[in-house]
Amino acid sequence: MPKLNKIKKLKKIRLHHEGTHILITASFILLALNVGLYYGFETKIPFYIVGFISVILYALMVNFFQCPIRRFKGDTEKTVVAPADGKIVVIEEVEENEYFHDRRLMISIFMSITNVHANWYPVEGVVKYVAHHNGRFMKAWLPKASTENERSTVVIDTPDGQTVMARQIAGAVARRIVTYAEAGEECFIDEHMGFIKFGSRVDVYLPLGSEVCVKMGQKTTGNETIIAKLK
């Protein structure tokens, strides 16, 4: 029975299409490099060292581009789920000046290079606003990263009339943010909102008075961990 459960779990994991080109290119480059070292030197020490590093590097890339098939279990009404795998690095009231121009409760999730980087919608509703902003590539956990780094903003109106913002933020290594959301379309928990390539953060802005369900430093699982309840 345990073996069967393990097989079922593996079937729920797939690779995100955003990583297809990178993984194929990396496999050819690493293979060529290792073949060259194997046949180019009499001593095999350089081949063993680089081969070991290549395996670890490629395994990290495969893990990064995982696209787990997840289904949220529970009532989605007034529920805010984690839009990403990672760690809670900010829970505070802030002044949001791009869309709301008032104070909001911000919950931020930092994704390290070892995390899956697919992003899910945090709430269900209708997408009201989508915008991409060019910017800097500071370390994603810095406070200024939320407003000065390369970023994409998605604003969602929930069925009960509340408004939630999710902001994808590039980090020091990330160089590309992919956002699938389009203004006017319906969105649902379980659906992918986008993808950020190589180290980043997602901020969620909620109405004041929302109930926070996570704590600082807590690890989150995208589309599974409940981070808040709307009032």
* Active-site annotation holds for 200: yes
**How would you list the strands of the sheet with 186-187, edge to edge?**
186-187, 125-133, 151-157, 163-170, 200-206, 102-111, 86-96, 219-220
DSSP string, 125-156: EEEEEEEEE--B---TTSTTHHHHBSEEEEEE
Q: Count other C-beta atoms under 10 Å from residue 101's C-beta.
A: 8
**Catalytic residue selected from 108, 146, 152, 200:** 200
Q: Which residues are catalytic?
A: 200
